[in-house]
Amino acid sequence: MRRLDEYPIDPEVAAALDAIDATLAGDAVDPRHAELAELALLLAAERPEMDAGFADSLDERVERRFAAPQPAAGSGGAHRPLRGWLAPAAGLGSAALAAAVVVVILAGGSTGTHPRSAAPLPAISSGPARASSGSAHAASVPAQALKSASGSASTSASGSPSTSASGSPSTSASGSPSTSASGSLSTSASGSASSAGGSTSSASGSLPTTASGQASSSSAAAQPGPILQPPANGRKIIQSAQLALSTAPSRIDTVAQEVFDVVGQENGIVSSSTVTATGGTGGYAQFQLSVPSSALPQTMAALSTLRYAHVSSRTDTTQDVNDQYQSDVNRLADARALRTSLLKQLANATTQAQIDSLTAQIHDAEASISSDQATLRQLEHQINFSQITLTINSPVPVPVPVASGSGGFTLHTAAHDAGRVLTVAAGVALIALAALVPLALVGALGWWVTATLRRRRREQALDTV
Amino acid sequence: MIETLSAPGVASDEGSWERFEALYRSSRSDLYAYVATLLRDPAAAEDVTALAFERAYRRRRTFDRRRGAERAWLFGIARNAALDELRRRKRLARLAVEPDDPAADVADEGAEVTLRRTAVRAALRKLSAREREIVALKFHAGMSNAEIAGLLGVSESNAGTLLHRTMEKLRKECDATT
């Protein structure tokens, strides 16, 4: 695009300018430009000449290459040291910024973004969630222990008649509370174990704490601990337990057979059982056992020390039903006394109406007696036989990540590390660009504005002097 | 008269010094004449001239021949320094400049020439700084119209027009004086 001041110059003006140039060059000019040529010569003669002293002084300074520069005319000499510091300061600031970015990125990567820096995975994962009514398998990490504890509580509620009847809430070791209808409190603790190494974590808060003396449950750690027994004070107590075992996939059948053997030795009953042997990973078995309460400690001890199984979690639950038992006994005695009384009245009855009425009442009393007897028998059965819910899992082993350095230095790891380094470097560069580009743009804009203003002020100086 | 430098950084430090020294020798008088005409103050002109050469020496490695000749680069530095000096004078409420004696140094010339030179000096004092700058660049620094245009940041035709107008103004002033 052509600028406005680039239009061809007027021929007369061009001729005059040529005359000036010719005059200064010593050439002859057209007579019509003689006056202009004379003026040009007079102007050239007015050229100021440098003072000899100043010329010598300047020559000397130049020879010294301005070794000792003297600030002249308010020059920018004072600015040079500042400008000299600018570059190192900017470099230092950029380096500090880059270092800070690197530190932030590396710190962020070590707290979870880096897959290899993440918390180590458990060697054995929790079992498949097939145990809809059984206790879930507890793995070694706390979160899974929490799931296990919760699972044990729910199993207890659904599988254990005592707990189910009372609906007693249990506060598990992981702190997940559940609310019960009866308001009785039991504390359950759950342990966790790794089937690979048998590493255990002890149950936290596993002591059976019985609030109001109604019910309690305790969940033991993976390692078989002391078998909990309620105090032998003659009170009627319903006991139940949930036990989760883990074993190798190929040992599912063996462990199941051991369970049958233990139950038989203790004169117990296998109410139901489900054994699934896949031949590979994911084998699963579930048992609903009923054993004499007197043999519950021995049974639990035997089940907890099976040859090829490890205890993942164990929950012991007790419920004091002494008051309920006494109430049922009294109600039955009352019903029997009522029937005896009615029979006596029937013997003395004189009218047919009295006979019919008493007969009906006796019938009702006998029905009540039958019902009370059934209730009492059921309660006595629950007291005399404890329910055990047993699950056996064969967890899917999770490959343990090889820690850096322990697996040796290979081309693969080197390539991985190199890629990681390049990724981090690219990230650092990107972040640095994101921070520096706006700053550079602002700086460039500021420089442009400053330069424009300075140039304009300088031009204004020509107009005002 | 115009010399060019090779690209900075390519030659050695000694080579750049030699080129700077050659530039200094060839431009020293022209540069002083330009600055002195613009400032109308010999002392300030000496300071600005010295400052311009020192700045050029410090910045000699930043010279880019693609942006113009070395001489134009040097005059650009001097022009900025001179304009800064003009601004500084303005802030100092205008220093009392010793008025030139129109009849000075013309005692041994003829009456006609003396009269003409006196008229020219009087006319020069009536020019604005921008007009004086054109005269200084053309008649005292020996620049071509193209070089003047490059230094002032205007087109060559515009520089010629400015010069022609200034010459016309001077001629009228001289005619009025004589």
Quick: pLDDT tens for A302-318. 888 888 888 988 888 88
| Confidence band of A444 (pLDDT split at 50, 70, 90) | very high
Which of these, B155, B105, B160, lies nearest to B137 by C-alpha position? Answer: B160
Nearest chain A residue to B173, by CA: A39
Of the ranges A37-41, B2-6, B15-19, B150-154, which one carries the lowest mean pLDDT score?
B2-6
* pLDDT single digits (tens) A314-359: 888 888 999 999 999 999 999 999 999 999 999 998 999 999 999 9
B residues 52-91 near A, CB within 8 Å? 53-55, 57-58, 80-81, 83-90
Q: Give the ipTM of the model, two decimals please.
A: 0.82
The predicted pLDDT at position A399 comes to 58
Q: For A284-342, give the DSSP string.
A: EEEEEEEEEGGGHHHHHHHHHT-TTEEEEEEEEEEEE-HHHHHHHHHHHHHHHHHHHHH
Q: Do A5 and B158 touch (CB under 8 A)?
A: yes
Mean pLDDT of the region B119-144? 90
Residue A150: CB atoms within 10 Å: 19
Tell me the Cα Rg of chain B: 18
Give the pLDDT confidence score for residue A450 in this predicted structure: 94
In DSSP terms, which residues pair with A336 in a beta bridge? none
Q: What pLDDT sits at residue B62?
A: 79
Q: Which of residues 124-163 of B touch A (CB under 8 A)?
A: 124, 128-130, 133, 135, 138-140, 142, 144-145, 154-155, 157-158, 160-161, 163
Distance CA B27, CA A64 (A): 18
A53 touches chain B (CB under 8 A): no
Q: Which of residues 13-32 of A touch B (CB under 8 A)?
A: 13-14, 16-17, 20-21, 24
Q: What is the mean pLDDT of residues A167-187?
A: 35
**Residues 420..449 of A with a Cβ closer than 8 Å to B: which?**
none
Beta-strand pair A284-292/A200-201? unpaired
Distance CA A323, CA A315 (A): 24
Contact state of A44 with B140 under an 8 Å Cβ cutoff: yes
Question: Could you read off the pLDDT of A11-63 as tens digits, one per residue?
Answer: 888 899 999 999 999 888 888 888 889 899 999 998 999 899 999 999 988 88
pLDDT at A5 over 60: no
pLDDT category of residue A98 using cuts at 50, 70 and 90? low
**Which residues is A288 bridged to in the sheet?**
A272, A389
Which of A63-72, A88-97, A158-167, B39-48 is predicted with the least confidence, judged by mean pLDDT? A158-167
With both helix axes pointing from N to C terminus, report the angle between B13-39 and B42-58 in degrees, rounded to the nearest 10.
160
Is A410 a residue whose pLDDT tops 90? no
Domains of chain B: 1-98 (1.10.1740.10), 102-178 (1.10.10.10)
**pLDDT band at residue A281 using 50, 70 and 90 as cut-offs:** low
Mean pLDDT of A379-397: 87
Place of tokens 């020192």: B54
Round to whole Å and give the CA distance between A316 and A297: 10
Which pLDDT band, with edges at 50, 70 and 90, does B70 fall under?
Answer: confident
Q: What is the mean pLDDT of residues A119-133?
A: 35
pLDDT > 80? residue B74: yes
Q: Which of A16, A42, A458 shows the shortest C-beta gap to B116? A: A42
Query: Nearest residue of B to residue A73 by CA position?
Result: B47
Please check whether residue B148 is in contact with residue B166, taking contact to mean a CB–CB distance below 8 angstroms.
no
CA A12 to chain centre: 88
Report the C-alpha gap between A415 and A247 in whole angstroms: 39
Q: Is A460 helix (H, G, I), strand (E, B) or coil?
A: helix
> Please, are residues A304 and A316 in contact by the beta-carbon 8 Å criterion?
no
Q: State yes or no: pLDDT of A175 exceeds 50.
A: no
In chain A, what percentage of residues exceed pLDDT 70?
60
pLDDT tier, A456 (very low <50, low <70, confident <90, very high otherwise)? confident
Structural element, H or E, at residue A388: strand A385-393
Contacts of A51 in chain B (CB under 8 A): 42, 46
In this predicted structure, the answer to whether residue B56 has a pLDDT above a threshold of 70 is: yes
CB contact under 8 A, A462 and B17: no
A219 — pLDDT class (breaks 50, 70, 90)? low
Four-residue CA torsion sign, A333, A336, A340, A346: positive
- Give the pair of three-digit tokens for residue B58: 């410090």
Mean pLDDT of chain A: 71
User: Given this model, what pLDDT does residue B140 score?
Assistant: 93
Give me the total of CB pairs closer than 8 Å, taking one residue from chain A and one from chain B.
Answer: 156
Q: Is pLDDT at A113 greater than 60 in this prediction?
A: no
Q: Where are the domains of chain A?
A: 1-43, 94-123, 142-326+373-393
- Please report the pLDDT score of residue A195 as a whole number: 35
Q: Residue A103 has what pLDDT?
A: 56
Give the closest of B37, B50, B135 to A72, CB-based: B50
Interface touch B49/A51, C-beta < 8 Å: no
Q: Residue window 103-122, chain B: list those with CB within 8 Å of chain A.
A: 116-117, 120-121
Segment A436-464 mean pLDDT:
89
**Is the per-residue pLDDT at B12 higher than 80?**
no
| Three-class DSSP category at B80 | helix
